[in-house]
Amino acid sequence: MSYTTVMKGIVLTAALLITACAQSPQAIKLAPTFAAPTQQNGGQSPVHVRVSDQRANKVLGSRGGAYRETAVITLANDLSLPVEKALSSYMAKMGYDVDSLNPATADLHVIFTSLVYDHPKEDGVGYDMDMSATVEVEARRGNEHYQGRYRIKRNQKFFNAPSGAQNTTLVNELVTEVLESMFSDPKLVAFLQKS
């Protein structure tokens, strides 16, 4: 076998390895879904739901690989609208009178300040993904107001890099989880249930 043939084989093998280690960018469609609420304790309390995206960094993270700086994960759609729609529907099922014209309606403003889904740079056994989401809540009714901050943080290990479909599922579950955590705050729930 000639030197040229050997060199071509080495170059081809190296190119294949680099390609195998590369991850392409991904834009995730946000469409969070909630399980049926275990309690319907809204008591027909009137509430208006608003969601804002005030994240300083719109990139969720990197898929990793040889070119992690370009293998970024972003959202394919606006965060506010699909989250607002899903949250309003969930609260209606909980028994709240959503988008009521009642003058005693509470304004629930949910502000996303952080959403992270990232493969850390460190190499190790398996494939880690760091996940976190932070929301701030401003609830107002007349001269009364309540503020809260809710954060979910976890790390999940995979044997191989998660697929695009897995990434989409995990990001949507993360968004749902941080929103559900708001309703574990008895002070917020009590504020919303006033009429």
User: What pLDDT sits at residue 98?
Assistant: 96
pTM for the structure as a whole? 0.83
Structure tokens at 186: 């008895």
Classify domain 3-192 at the CATH superfamily level: Lipoprotein like domain (3.30.160.150)
3-state secondary structure of 24: coil
User: What pLDDT sits at residue 109?
Assistant: 98
User: What pLDDT sits at residue 16?
Assistant: 35
User: What pLDDT sits at residue 11?
Assistant: 41
The pLDDT tens digits for 55-66 are: 999 999 887 765
Pick out the chain residues at pLDDT < 50: 6-9, 11-21
H/E segment holding residue 175: helix 164-182
